[in-house]
Protein backbone atom coordinates (compact mmCIF):
# COMPACT_ATOMS: atom_id res chain seq x y z
CA UNK A 1 0.00 0.00 0.00
CA UNK A 2 1.41 3.38 -1.06
CA UNK A 3 1.18 6.09 1.62
CA UNK A 4 2.10 9.72 1.03
CA UNK A 5 2.63 10.33 4.78
CA UNK A 6 3.48 7.82 7.50
CA UNK A 7 3.85 8.95 11.09
CA UNK A 8 5.11 5.87 12.94
CA UNK A 9 5.10 5.46 16.76
CA UNK A 10 5.40 9.19 17.45
CA UNK A 11 6.06 10.27 21.03
CA UNK A 12 6.14 13.89 22.22
CA UNK A 13 6.46 15.00 25.83
CA UNK A 14 6.06 18.39 27.48
CA UNK A 15 6.67 19.22 31.15
CA UNK A 16 4.17 17.17 33.14
CA UNK A 17 2.37 15.64 30.14
CA UNK A 18 2.89 13.06 27.38
CA UNK A 19 1.01 14.73 24.52
CA UNK A 20 1.60 11.94 21.99
CA UNK A 21 2.22 8.45 23.30
CA UNK A 22 3.24 6.08 20.46
CA UNK A 23 0.81 7.33 17.78
CA UNK A 24 0.73 6.06 14.20
CA UNK A 25 -1.12 7.79 11.35
CA UNK A 26 -0.92 6.89 7.66
CA UNK A 27 -2.31 9.06 4.86
CA UNK A 28 -2.97 7.72 1.37
CA UNK A 29 -2.62 9.97 -1.66
CA UNK A 30 -5.88 11.63 -2.65
CA UNK A 31 -7.79 10.88 0.55
CA UNK A 32 -9.22 13.00 3.35
CA UNK A 33 -8.07 11.49 6.64
CA UNK A 34 -9.72 12.81 9.80
CA UNK A 35 -7.88 13.00 13.13
CA UNK A 36 -10.46 12.83 15.92
CA UNK A 37 -9.95 13.37 19.63
CA UNK A 38 -11.08 15.33 22.68
CA UNK A 39 -9.64 18.70 23.63
CA UNK A 40 -6.09 18.16 24.75
CA UNK A 41 -5.96 14.62 23.27
CA UNK A 42 -2.81 15.60 21.34
CA UNK A 43 -4.20 16.24 17.84
CA UNK A 44 -2.63 19.66 17.25
CA UNK A 45 0.65 18.48 18.80
CA UNK A 46 0.82 15.53 16.40
CA UNK A 47 0.24 17.81 13.41
CA UNK A 48 2.74 20.37 14.72
CA UNK A 49 5.30 17.52 14.72
CA UNK A 50 4.44 16.78 11.08
CA UNK A 51 4.69 20.49 10.19
CA UNK A 52 8.10 20.86 11.88
CA UNK A 53 6.97 23.12 14.74
CA UNK A 54 7.96 20.42 17.27
CA UNK A 55 10.54 17.65 17.11
CA UNK A 56 9.32 14.17 18.14
CA UNK A 57 11.07 12.51 21.10
CA UNK A 58 10.65 9.12 19.41
CA UNK A 59 9.24 7.71 16.20
CA UNK A 60 9.72 8.15 12.47
CA UNK A 61 8.09 10.24 9.74
CA UNK A 62 8.08 9.07 6.12
CA UNK A 63 6.99 11.24 3.20
CA UNK A 64 6.33 9.35 -0.07
CA UNK A 65 8.05 6.30 1.44
CA UNK A 66 11.29 8.08 2.43
CA UNK A 67 12.30 8.72 6.04
CA UNK A 68 12.59 12.49 6.70
CA UNK A 69 13.65 14.86 9.46
CA UNK A 70 11.29 17.85 9.48
CA UNK A 71 13.36 20.27 11.55
CA UNK A 72 11.20 23.36 10.84
CA UNK A 73 8.16 24.51 8.80
CA UNK A 74 10.36 25.53 5.84
CA UNK A 75 11.44 21.90 5.49
CA UNK A 76 7.76 20.88 5.67
CA UNK A 77 6.96 23.36 2.87
CA UNK A 78 9.78 21.95 0.73
CA UNK A 79 8.32 18.47 1.23
CA UNK A 80 4.95 19.80 0.04
CA UNK A 81 3.28 19.93 3.47
CA UNK A 82 1.09 22.96 4.30
CA UNK A 83 -0.98 23.75 7.39
CA UNK A 84 -3.97 25.97 8.14
CA UNK A 85 -3.79 26.65 11.87
CA UNK A 86 -6.82 26.97 14.13
CA UNK A 87 -5.88 30.58 14.90
CA UNK A 88 -4.88 32.01 11.53
CA UNK A 89 -1.38 33.34 10.96
CA UNK A 90 -2.21 36.48 8.96
CA UNK A 91 -1.00 40.10 9.08
CA UNK A 92 -4.23 42.07 9.49
CA UNK A 93 -3.23 45.34 7.85
CA UNK A 94 -1.69 43.60 4.82
CA UNK A 95 -3.66 42.76 1.70
CA UNK A 96 -4.64 39.23 0.69
CA UNK A 97 -1.84 39.15 -1.89
CA UNK A 98 0.82 40.44 0.53
CA UNK A 99 -0.13 37.74 3.06
CA UNK A 100 -0.03 34.94 0.50
CA UNK A 101 3.42 35.80 -0.90
CA UNK A 102 5.01 36.71 2.45
CA UNK A 103 8.44 35.04 2.53
CA UNK A 104 8.15 33.95 -1.13
CA UNK A 105 7.86 37.32 -2.86
CA UNK A 106 8.40 37.33 -6.64
CA UNK A 107 10.71 40.21 -7.64
CA UNK A 108 11.32 42.21 -10.77
CA UNK A 109 14.41 44.43 -11.02
CA UNK A 110 14.83 44.35 -7.23
CA UNK A 111 11.21 45.21 -6.39
CA UNK A 112 8.34 42.97 -5.32
CA UNK A 113 6.29 42.13 -8.39
CA UNK A 114 2.77 42.46 -6.94
CA UNK A 115 1.21 42.28 -10.40
CA UNK A 116 2.73 38.87 -11.15
CA UNK A 117 1.70 37.59 -7.71
CA UNK A 118 -1.87 38.89 -8.12
CA UNK A 119 -2.22 37.09 -11.47
CA UNK A 120 -0.91 33.84 -9.98
CA UNK A 121 -3.33 34.14 -7.01
CA UNK A 122 -6.30 34.87 -9.29
CA UNK A 123 -5.42 31.78 -11.33
CA UNK A 124 -5.20 29.61 -8.20
CA UNK A 125 -8.48 30.94 -6.78
CA UNK A 126 -10.32 30.14 -10.00
CA UNK A 127 -8.79 26.68 -10.25
CA UNK A 128 -9.90 25.67 -6.74
CA UNK A 129 -13.12 27.71 -6.46
CA UNK A 130 -11.66 30.01 -3.77
CA UNK A 131 -13.17 33.36 -4.70
CA UNK A 132 -11.11 36.01 -2.86
CA UNK A 133 -10.34 39.61 -3.80
CA UNK A 134 -6.49 39.78 -3.87
CA UNK A 135 -6.45 43.51 -3.07
CA UNK A 136 -8.67 43.43 0.08
CA UNK A 137 -7.08 43.96 3.46
CA UNK A 138 -7.35 41.02 5.87
CA UNK A 139 -9.00 43.17 8.55
CA UNK A 140 -11.88 43.95 6.15
CA UNK A 141 -12.82 40.39 5.15
CA UNK A 142 -14.82 37.70 6.97
CA UNK A 143 -13.29 34.80 8.91
CA UNK A 144 -14.37 32.43 6.12
CA UNK A 145 -12.51 34.53 3.56
CA UNK A 146 -9.42 34.71 5.81
CA UNK A 147 -9.42 30.94 5.88
CA UNK A 148 -9.43 30.86 2.07
CA UNK A 149 -6.37 33.12 2.16
CA UNK A 150 -4.66 30.54 4.40
CA UNK A 151 -5.55 27.79 1.91
CA UNK A 152 -4.23 29.88 -1.00
CA UNK A 153 -1.03 30.47 0.98
CA UNK A 154 -0.46 26.69 0.97
CA UNK A 155 -1.37 26.26 -2.69
CA UNK A 156 0.91 29.16 -3.68
CA UNK A 157 3.76 27.18 -2.08
CA UNK A 158 2.75 24.07 -4.10
CA UNK A 159 1.64 22.07 -1.05
CA UNK A 160 0.45 18.55 -1.89
CA UNK A 161 -0.41 17.52 1.67
CA UNK A 162 -2.75 19.93 3.44
CA UNK A 163 -3.35 19.91 7.19
CA UNK A 164 -6.52 21.63 8.42
CA UNK A 165 -6.59 22.24 12.19
CA UNK A 166 -10.22 22.64 13.38
CA UNK A 167 -11.06 24.52 10.18
CA UNK A 168 -14.75 25.06 10.91
CA UNK A 169 -14.48 26.33 14.50
CA UNK A 170 -15.20 29.95 13.56
CA UNK A 171 -17.25 29.51 10.39
CA UNK A 172 -20.96 30.03 9.72
CA UNK A 173 -23.04 27.04 8.52
CA UNK A 174 -22.91 28.40 4.94
CA UNK A 175 -19.13 28.82 5.07
CA UNK A 176 -18.78 25.26 6.40
CA UNK A 177 -20.72 23.92 3.39
CA UNK A 178 -18.45 25.94 1.08
CA UNK A 179 -15.31 24.68 2.82
CA UNK A 180 -16.45 21.07 2.43
CA UNK A 181 -16.87 21.69 -1.34
CA UNK A 182 -13.39 23.24 -1.46
CA UNK A 183 -11.85 20.24 0.32
CA UNK A 184 -13.51 17.79 -2.05
CA UNK A 185 -12.26 19.84 -4.99
CA UNK A 186 -8.69 19.92 -3.62
CA UNK A 187 -8.72 16.11 -3.39
CA UNK A 188 -10.08 15.82 -6.96
CA UNK A 189 -7.09 17.92 -8.05
CA UNK A 190 -4.76 15.35 -6.48
CA UNK A 191 -4.12 16.85 -3.03
CA UNK A 192 -4.24 14.79 0.18
CA UNK A 193 -5.80 16.23 3.36
CA UNK A 194 -5.49 15.60 7.10
CA UNK A 195 -8.47 17.13 8.90
CA UNK A 196 -8.26 17.72 12.66
CA UNK A 197 -11.75 18.03 14.08
CA UNK A 198 -14.13 16.76 16.72
CA UNK A 199 -17.28 17.46 14.70
CA UNK A 200 -18.55 14.02 13.79
CA UNK A 201 -21.07 15.39 11.29
CA UNK A 202 -18.24 16.87 9.22
CA UNK A 203 -16.16 13.70 9.39
CA UNK A 204 -19.13 11.68 8.10
CA UNK A 205 -19.66 14.19 5.30
CA UNK A 206 -16.13 14.58 4.01
CA UNK A 207 -13.58 12.06 5.34
CA UNK A 208 -12.56 8.63 3.98
CA UNK A 209 -10.60 7.34 6.99
CA UNK A 210 -10.56 8.48 10.61
CA UNK A 211 -7.82 7.97 13.20
CA UNK A 212 -9.01 8.37 16.80
CA UNK A 213 -6.73 9.33 19.68
CA UNK A 214 -7.60 9.61 23.36
CA UNK A 215 -5.47 11.27 26.04
CA UNK A 216 -2.42 11.08 23.78
CA UNK A 217 -2.81 7.40 22.90
CA UNK A 218 -3.75 5.80 19.56
CA UNK A 219 -7.16 4.09 19.73
CA UNK A 220 -7.98 2.98 16.17
CA UNK A 221 -8.27 3.93 12.49
CA UNK A 222 -11.71 3.29 11.01
CA UNK A 223 -13.42 3.48 7.64
CA UNK A 224 -15.79 6.45 7.92
CA UNK A 225 -18.49 5.09 5.59
CA UNK A 226 -18.96 1.90 7.61
CA UNK A 227 -18.61 3.38 11.15
CA UNK A 228 -21.43 5.28 12.87
CA UNK A 229 -20.97 8.67 14.52
CA UNK A 230 -21.99 7.12 17.89
CA UNK A 231 -19.22 4.52 17.67
CA UNK A 232 -16.62 7.19 16.81
CA UNK A 233 -17.86 9.43 19.65
CA UNK A 234 -17.55 6.69 22.26
CA UNK A 235 -14.07 5.72 21.00
CA UNK A 236 -13.06 9.36 21.34
CA UNK A 237 -14.35 9.89 24.92
CA UNK A 238 -14.14 6.33 26.20
CA UNK A 239 -17.84 6.15 27.11
CA UNK A 240 -21.23 6.61 25.50
CA UNK A 241 -22.17 10.18 24.72
CA UNK A 242 -25.68 11.59 24.60
CA UNK A 243 -26.28 13.96 21.72
CA UNK A 244 -29.63 15.17 23.03
CA UNK A 245 -29.95 17.69 25.84
CA UNK A 246 -32.04 16.54 28.80
CA UNK A 247 -33.93 19.34 30.47
CA UNK A 248 -37.18 20.00 32.28
CA UNK A 249 -39.67 22.53 30.96
CA UNK A 250 -38.55 26.11 31.77
CA UNK A 251 -40.45 28.10 34.39
CA UNK A 252 -39.54 31.74 33.65
CA UNK A 253 -40.16 34.36 36.34
CA UNK A 254 -39.57 38.13 36.35
CA UNK A 255 -37.43 40.02 33.81
CA UNK A 256 -33.66 40.13 34.44
CA UNK A 257 -32.50 41.94 31.30
CA UNK A 258 -34.51 44.40 29.23
CA UNK A 259 -33.06 46.03 26.13
CA UNK A 260 -34.95 48.87 24.44
CA UNK A 261 -34.20 50.48 21.04
CA UNK A 262 -30.50 49.71 21.36
CA UNK A 263 -28.10 51.12 18.76
CA UNK A 264 -24.44 50.05 18.80
CA UNK A 265 -21.82 50.85 16.15
CA UNK A 266 -19.13 48.46 14.98
CA UNK A 267 -15.43 49.33 14.67
CA UNK A 268 -16.04 50.87 11.25
CA UNK A 269 -18.69 53.22 12.63
CA UNK A 270 -21.65 51.39 11.05
CA UNK A 271 -24.78 50.51 13.04
CA UNK A 272 -24.22 46.85 13.91
CA UNK A 273 -27.10 46.79 16.42
CA UNK A 274 -29.89 48.86 14.98
CA UNK A 275 -32.90 49.53 17.22
CA UNK A 276 -32.89 46.15 18.97
CA UNK A 277 -35.43 45.11 21.62
CA UNK A 278 -35.03 42.03 23.81
CA UNK A 279 -36.17 40.69 27.18
CA UNK A 280 -34.88 37.73 29.12
CA UNK A 281 -36.31 36.36 32.36
CA UNK A 282 -35.15 34.37 35.35
CA UNK A 283 -35.18 30.64 34.80
CA UNK A 284 -34.90 30.62 31.02
CA UNK A 285 -32.25 30.19 28.35
CA UNK A 286 -32.77 32.61 25.51
CA UNK A 287 -30.82 31.60 22.42
CA UNK A 288 -29.87 34.09 19.74
CA UNK A 289 -29.65 32.57 16.27
CA UNK A 290 -28.20 34.37 13.29
CA UNK A 291 -25.57 34.27 10.59
CA UNK A 292 -22.25 35.64 11.86
CA UNK A 293 -21.87 39.40 11.45
CA UNK A 294 -25.48 40.43 12.13
CA UNK A 295 -24.69 42.33 15.33
CA UNK A 296 -24.31 39.45 17.81
CA UNK A 297 -20.80 40.41 18.88
CA UNK A 298 -21.63 44.11 19.33
CA UNK A 299 -24.80 43.22 21.28
CA UNK A 300 -22.89 41.06 23.77
CA UNK A 301 -20.15 43.68 24.10
CA UNK A 302 -22.73 46.40 24.78
CA UNK A 303 -24.44 44.32 27.52
CA UNK A 304 -21.14 43.38 29.19
CA UNK A 305 -19.70 46.91 28.87
CA UNK A 306 -16.90 46.18 26.38
CA UNK A 307 -18.48 48.52 23.80
CA UNK A 308 -20.38 51.77 24.23
CA UNK A 309 -24.01 51.99 23.14
CA UNK A 310 -24.92 54.97 20.92
CA UNK A 311 -28.50 55.15 22.17
CA UNK A 312 -31.31 53.07 23.68
CA UNK A 313 -31.23 51.45 27.10
CA UNK A 314 -30.03 48.26 28.80
CA UNK A 315 -31.67 47.45 32.12
CA UNK A 316 -30.47 44.77 34.53
CA UNK A 317 -32.87 43.91 37.36
CA UNK A 318 -34.72 47.17 36.73
CA UNK A 319 -31.57 49.35 36.89
CA UNK A 320 -30.22 51.23 33.88
CA UNK A 321 -26.69 49.93 33.23
CA UNK A 322 -26.22 51.43 29.72
CA UNK A 323 -23.33 53.66 30.82
CA UNK A 324 -22.14 51.71 33.84
CA UNK A 325 -18.45 50.65 34.07
CA UNK A 326 -17.65 46.97 33.49
CA UNK A 327 -16.71 46.06 37.06
CA UNK A 328 -19.96 47.52 38.40
CA UNK A 329 -21.93 45.44 35.91
CA UNK A 330 -20.00 42.34 36.96
CA UNK A 331 -20.76 43.04 40.62
CA UNK A 332 -24.44 43.60 39.84
CA UNK A 333 -24.57 40.07 38.51
CA UNK A 334 -23.36 39.74 34.92
CA UNK A 335 -21.17 36.79 33.97
CA UNK A 336 -19.62 36.74 30.51
CA UNK A 337 -18.20 33.86 28.48
CA UNK A 338 -16.81 35.96 25.62
CA UNK A 339 -16.82 34.84 21.98
CA UNK A 340 -13.10 35.54 21.60
CA UNK A 341 -11.40 33.66 24.41
CA UNK A 342 -7.93 35.02 23.70
CA UNK A 343 -8.88 38.66 23.39
CA UNK A 344 -11.45 38.98 26.16
CA UNK A 345 -11.48 35.75 28.17
CA UNK A 346 -7.98 35.08 29.45
CA UNK A 347 -4.61 36.64 30.11
CA UNK A 348 -2.55 34.09 28.22
CA UNK A 349 0.75 34.70 30.01
CA UNK A 350 -0.83 34.41 33.47
CA UNK A 351 -1.03 31.05 35.21
CA UNK A 352 -4.26 29.09 35.21
CA UNK A 353 -4.84 29.86 38.92
CA UNK A 354 -4.61 33.62 38.29
CA UNK A 355 -7.03 33.42 35.37
CA UNK A 356 -9.56 31.65 37.58
CA UNK A 357 -9.90 34.72 39.86
CA UNK A 358 -9.80 37.52 37.28
CA UNK A 359 -13.30 38.63 38.33
CA UNK A 360 -12.80 38.29 42.09
CA UNK A 361 -9.08 38.70 42.90
CA UNK A 362 -9.66 42.06 44.67
CA UNK A 363 -12.14 40.58 47.17
CA UNK A 364 -11.65 38.47 50.27
CA UNK A 365 -10.50 35.70 50.68
CA UNK A 366 -8.35 36.23 47.54
CA UNK A 367 -6.77 39.45 48.77
CA UNK A 368 -6.64 41.66 51.86
CA UNK A 369 -5.52 45.29 51.94
CA UNK A 370 -4.41 44.97 48.33
CA UNK A 371 -2.19 41.92 48.91
CA UNK A 372 -3.03 38.68 47.12
CA UNK A 373 -3.59 35.56 49.18
CA UNK A 374 -1.94 32.95 46.96
CA UNK A 375 -3.08 29.89 48.89
CA UNK A 376 -6.77 30.94 48.74
CA UNK A 377 -6.41 31.58 45.00
CA UNK A 378 -4.71 28.21 44.44
CA UNK A 379 -7.34 26.35 46.51
CA UNK A 380 -10.16 27.90 44.53
CA UNK A 381 -8.46 27.19 41.19
CA UNK A 382 -7.76 23.58 42.20
CA UNK A 383 -11.44 22.98 43.01
CA UNK A 384 -12.62 24.50 39.72
CA UNK A 385 -10.07 22.55 37.66
CA UNK A 386 -11.34 19.34 39.20
CA UNK A 387 -15.05 20.15 38.89
CA UNK A 388 -14.79 21.28 35.25
CA UNK A 389 -12.15 18.72 34.20
CA UNK A 390 -9.74 21.39 32.92
CA UNK A 391 -6.71 19.45 31.63
CA UNK A 392 -3.23 20.95 31.57
CA UNK A 393 0.38 19.88 31.99
CA UNK A 394 1.12 21.57 35.31
CA UNK A 395 -2.29 22.13 36.87
CA UNK A 396 -2.81 25.53 38.51
CA UNK A 397 0.73 26.60 37.56
CA UNK A 398 0.31 26.02 33.82
CA UNK A 399 0.67 29.12 31.68
CA UNK A 400 -2.74 29.47 30.03
CA UNK A 401 -1.09 29.96 26.64
CA UNK A 402 0.26 26.39 26.81
CA UNK A 403 -3.20 24.80 27.14
CA UNK A 404 -5.33 23.45 24.31
CA UNK A 405 -8.07 25.78 23.03
CA UNK A 406 -10.83 23.59 24.45
CA UNK A 407 -9.30 23.54 27.91
CA UNK A 408 -8.83 27.31 27.82
CA UNK A 409 -12.55 27.52 27.09
CA UNK A 410 -13.41 25.21 30.00
CA UNK A 411 -11.36 27.43 32.33
CA UNK A 412 -13.34 30.54 31.36
CA UNK A 413 -16.65 28.70 31.77
CA UNK A 414 -15.58 27.40 35.18
CA UNK A 415 -14.71 30.93 36.34
CA UNK A 416 -17.95 32.51 35.10
CA UNK A 417 -20.41 29.77 36.07
CA UNK A 418 -18.87 29.41 39.53
CA UNK A 419 -19.97 32.96 40.41
CA UNK A 420 -23.54 31.96 39.45
CA UNK A 421 -24.38 35.42 38.11
CA UNK A 422 -27.97 36.70 37.73
CA UNK A 423 -27.37 36.95 33.98
CA UNK A 424 -24.92 34.59 32.29
CA UNK A 425 -23.94 35.71 28.80
CA UNK A 426 -22.61 32.71 26.89
CA UNK A 427 -20.97 33.74 23.61
CA UNK A 428 -20.31 30.57 21.59
CA UNK A 429 -19.56 28.64 24.79
CA UNK A 430 -18.79 25.36 23.06
CA UNK A 431 -16.72 26.70 20.17
CA UNK A 432 -13.84 24.31 19.67
CA UNK A 433 -15.04 21.78 22.26
CA UNK A 434 -15.46 18.03 21.77
CA UNK A 435 -18.74 16.16 22.25
CA UNK A 436 -17.96 15.10 25.83
CA UNK A 437 -17.14 18.66 26.88
CA UNK A 438 -20.14 20.09 24.99
CA UNK A 439 -22.45 17.71 26.85
CA UNK A 440 -20.95 18.89 30.17
CA UNK A 441 -21.21 22.64 29.33
CA UNK A 442 -24.84 22.29 28.22
CA UNK A 443 -25.59 20.59 31.55
CA UNK A 444 -23.99 23.51 33.41
CA UNK A 445 -26.00 26.12 31.48
CA UNK A 446 -29.21 24.25 32.28
CA UNK A 447 -28.22 23.99 35.97
CA UNK A 448 -27.81 27.78 36.06
CA UNK A 449 -31.23 28.18 34.48
CA UNK A 450 -32.74 25.83 37.06
CA UNK A 451 -31.23 27.91 39.89
CA UNK A 452 -33.38 30.78 38.60
CA UNK A 453 -30.68 32.52 36.61
CA UNK A 454 -31.14 34.06 33.17
CA UNK A 455 -28.90 32.63 30.44
CA UNK A 456 -28.33 34.44 27.15
CA UNK A 457 -26.81 32.01 24.63
CA UNK A 458 -25.31 33.18 21.35
CA UNK A 459 -24.07 30.46 19.05
CA UNK A 460 -23.48 30.01 15.34
CA UNK A 461 -24.32 26.30 15.73
CA UNK A 462 -28.02 26.10 14.97
CA UNK A 463 -28.28 22.62 16.55
CA UNK A 464 -26.94 24.03 19.80
CA UNK A 465 -29.36 26.96 19.85
CA UNK A 466 -32.29 24.63 19.14
CA UNK A 467 -31.27 21.99 21.71
CA UNK A 468 -30.32 24.18 24.65
CA UNK A 469 -32.60 27.24 24.43
CA UNK A 470 -36.13 27.60 25.77
CA UNK A 471 -36.88 30.53 23.47
CA UNK A 472 -34.99 31.52 20.31
CA UNK A 473 -34.64 35.13 19.13
CA UNK A 474 -33.40 35.49 15.56
CA UNK A 475 -31.10 38.43 14.81
CA UNK A 476 -30.75 39.90 11.32
CA UNK A 477 -28.95 43.14 10.43
CA UNK A 478 -28.86 44.23 14.05
CA UNK A 479 -32.55 43.67 14.83
CA UNK A 480 -34.54 40.83 16.33
CA UNK A 481 -36.82 39.68 13.49
CA UNK A 482 -38.84 37.30 15.65
CA UNK A 483 -38.83 35.11 18.75
CA UNK A 484 -40.02 31.50 18.69
CA UNK A 485 -40.54 28.73 21.21
CA UNK A 486 -37.55 26.37 20.86
CA UNK A 487 -39.75 23.25 21.13
CA UNK A 488 -41.70 24.24 18.03
CA UNK A 489 -38.89 25.77 15.96
CA UNK A 490 -37.70 24.00 12.82
CA UNK A 491 -34.34 24.42 11.14
CA UNK A 492 -36.08 25.52 7.93
CA UNK A 493 -38.12 28.21 9.66
CA UNK A 494 -35.09 29.56 11.59
CA UNK A 495 -33.02 29.48 8.38
CA UNK A 496 -35.58 31.68 6.63
CA UNK A 497 -35.70 34.10 9.59
CA UNK A 498 -31.88 34.22 9.68
CA UNK A 499 -32.02 35.34 6.05
CA UNK A 500 -34.28 38.24 7.07
CA UNK A 501 -37.82 36.89 6.55
CA UNK A 502 -40.13 37.79 9.43
CA UNK A 503 -41.43 34.72 11.29
CA UNK A 504 -42.43 32.58 8.26
CA UNK A 505 -45.23 30.80 10.19
CA UNK A 506 -47.25 34.02 10.21
CA UNK A 507 -48.33 33.38 6.61
CA UNK A 508 -51.24 31.29 7.78
CA UNK A 509 -49.46 27.92 8.00
CA UNK A 510 -49.65 27.79 11.81
Determine the Cα–Cα distance for residues 211 and 206; give it in Å rounded to an integer: 14
The pLDDT mean for the chain works out to 90
Q: Specify the fold of 3-237.
A: Rossmann fold (3.40.50)
Can you give the pTM of this predicted structure? 0.71
Confidence check: pLDDT of 142 > 80: no
Tell me how far apart the alpha carbons of residues 107 and 315 are, in angstroms, rounded to a whole number: 59
Rg of the chain, C-alpha, whole Å: 24
Rounded distance, CA 19 to CA 172, Å? 31
pLDDT of residue 234: 87
Greatest mean pLDDT among 24-28, 164-168, 460-464, 486-490 = 24-28
How far apart are alpha carbons 421 and 271 in whole angstroms?
29
* pLDDT tens digits, 2-49: 899 999 999 999 888 899 999 999 999 999 999 998 877 899 899 999
C-alpha closest to that of 82 among 54, 61, 52, 57? 52
Confidence of residue 431 (pLDDT cuts 50, 70, 90): confident
Strand order across the 217-223 sheet: 66-68, 58-63, 3-14, 17-28, 217-223, 209-214, 32-36, 192-197, 161-165, 81-84
Q: Mean per-residue pLDDT for 148-161? A: 90
Mean pLDDT of 322-341: 94
Burial class (CB in 10 A: 0-12, 13-18, 19+), 479: middle
Percentage of the chain with pLDDT > 70? 97
What is the distance between the alpha carbons of residues 387 and 339, in angstroms, rounded to a whole number?
22
Query: Residue 367 pairs with which residues in a beta bridge?
Result: 372
> Helix or strand or coil: residue 338?
coil
Residue 143, Cα to own-chain centre: how many angstroms? 11
**C-alpha span between 24 and 6 (Å, rounded):** 7
**pLDDT at residue 462 tops 90:** no
pLDDT at 508 over 50: no
User: Quick one: average pLDDT of 130-137?
Assistant: 86
Question: What letter would DSSP give residue 137?
Answer: B
> How far is Cα 163 from Cα 4, in angstroms, rounded to an integer?
13
Instruction: Please name the residues in contact with 303: beta carbons below 8 A apart, sequence gap of 6 or more.
Output: 257, 259, 314, 334, 423, 425, 456
Q: Which DSSP state fits 351?
A: B
Element (H, E) at 454: strand 454-458
Q: State yes or no: pLDDT of 421 exceeds 80.
A: yes
When pLDDT is averaged across residues 235-246 and rounded to a whole number, the result is 78
pLDDT digits (tens, 9 = 90+) for 465-502: 999 999 999 999 999 999 999 999 988 888 888 877 77
- Can you point out the beta strands (E) in 31-160? 32-36, 58-63, 66-68, 81-84, 107-108, 111-112
Longest dimension (CA), the chain: 73
Integer CA distances (angstroms), 37 to 214, 235, 285, 486, 494, in order = 6, 9, 29, 31, 31
- Residue 505: pLDDT band by 50, 70, 90 thresholds? low
148 neighbors 132 (Cβ within 8 angstroms)? yes
Decide if pLDDT at 272 tops 50.
yes
CATH 3.40.50.300-classified regions of the chain:
3-237, 282-308+324-507
Please state, in angstroms and rounded to a whole number, the distance separating the CA atoms of residues 45 and 42. 5
> Superfamily for 282-308+324-507?
P-loop containing nucleotide triphosphate hydrolases (3.40.50.300)
Amino acid sequence: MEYIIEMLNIRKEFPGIVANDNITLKLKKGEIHALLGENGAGKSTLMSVLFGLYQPDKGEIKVRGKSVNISNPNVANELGIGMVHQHFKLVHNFTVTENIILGQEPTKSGKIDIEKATKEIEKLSKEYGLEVDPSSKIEDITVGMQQRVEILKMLYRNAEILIFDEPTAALTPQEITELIHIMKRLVEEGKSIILITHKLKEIKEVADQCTIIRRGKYIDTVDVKTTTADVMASMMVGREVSFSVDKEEADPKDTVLKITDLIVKDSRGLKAVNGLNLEIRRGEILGIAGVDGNGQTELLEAISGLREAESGSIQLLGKDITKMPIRQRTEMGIGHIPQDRHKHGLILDFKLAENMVLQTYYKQPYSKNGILNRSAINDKAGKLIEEFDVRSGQGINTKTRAMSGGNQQKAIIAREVDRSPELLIAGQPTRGLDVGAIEFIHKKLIEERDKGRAVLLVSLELDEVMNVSDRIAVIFEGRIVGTVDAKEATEHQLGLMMAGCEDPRKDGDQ
